[in-house]
Amino acid sequence: MEMLAVGTTSTMNRKQKTDSDSSAELTVDRKDKIDQALIRFFICCGIPFSTVGHPYFIDFVQSLCFAYGPPKRTTLSTTFLNHETAIILNKIKEELKYEKNLTLGNLFNYCISN
């Protein structure tokens, strides 16, 4: 019985800590990181952008972090998508900057393998 009581108290303390953390205000940096993770999730998993407007998705996100409001579909599919595309293109350019003797076939294989 004592072990059960200790486990329950520990669980309650963790839950209270999580609940208080999720209602705290978001910093701009934290919000940007969440937005970047969100756009990567949508792109890499093939999730339709319209999902961000669904009440169940909004409820899910707010249950994780009440202070965070997901962006609108149009913002996700334009601003965030363009920003993430620019980041990826810059990474590709940086990696290709140090490559030598590339042909179109090598470039194609390089892009597919990375």
Cα–Cα distance, 38 to 83 (Å, whole number): 13
Q: What is the pLDDT of residue 95?
A: 87
**Span 33-78, pLDDT tens digits:** 999 999 999 999 999 999 999 999 999 999 998 899 899 999 999 9
Q: pTM for this structure?
A: 0.62
Query: Do 68 and 34 form a contact (C-beta atoms < 8 A)?
Result: yes
pLDDT in tens, 95-108: 888 888 777 666 66
Alpha carbons 23 and 65: distance in angstroms, whole number: 6
How far apart (Å, rounded) are the C-alpha atoms in residues 50 and 48?
Answer: 5
Contact 36, 23 (CB under 8 A): no
Please tell me which residue, 12 or 97, carries the higher pLDDT value.
97
Per-residue tokens: 26: 């978001």
As a three-state string, the secondary structure of 35-88 is HHHHHHHHHHHCCCHHHHHCHHHHHHHHHHCCCCCCCCHHHHHHHHHHHHHHHH
User: Residue 14 has which token pair?
Assistant: 């963790």
